[in-house]
Structure 1
Amino acid sequence: MRTEAAVFAVVSGFFLVVGVLYGVWSQDPAGIAALTVALLMSLLITFFFAVNYVRRGPRPEDRKKSDVSERAGSVDFFPPSSPWPVTTAAGAAVLALGVVYAVWLFLIGLGLVMAGVCAMAFQYAGREG
Structure 2
Amino acid sequence: MKAEALLFAGVAGFFLVTDAFYTSWAREPAGTAALTVSFAMASVVSFFCLVNYRRRGARPEDRTDGKVADRAGPLDFFPPHSAYPVLTAAGAGLTALGIVFGLWLFLPAVGVLLAGVLGMTFQFNRRPG
The normalised TM-score by structure 2 is 0.74
**Counterpart of 1:110?**
110
Return the offset for 1:45. Answer: 2.5
2:115 counterpart letter in structure 1: A
**Counterpart of 1:65?**
65
Return the offset for 1:111. Answer: 3.0
SS at match of 1:17: helix
Pair 66,13 (structure 1): closer, same or farther in 2 beyond 3 Å: same
Return the offset for 1:21. Answer: 3.0
Return the offset for 1:81. Answer: 2.8
Count of residue pairs the alignment pairs up: 127
Larger Rg: 2
SS at match of 1:78: coil
Pair 24,57 (structure 1): closer, same or farther in 2 beyond 3 Å: same
Q: Which runs of 5+ in 2 are unaligned?
A: none
Q: Distance in 2 between matches of 1:17 and 1:10?
A: 11
Return the offset for 1:60. Answer: 0.8
Q: Which runs of 5+ in 1 are unaligned?
A: none
Return the offset for 1:63. Answer: 1.3
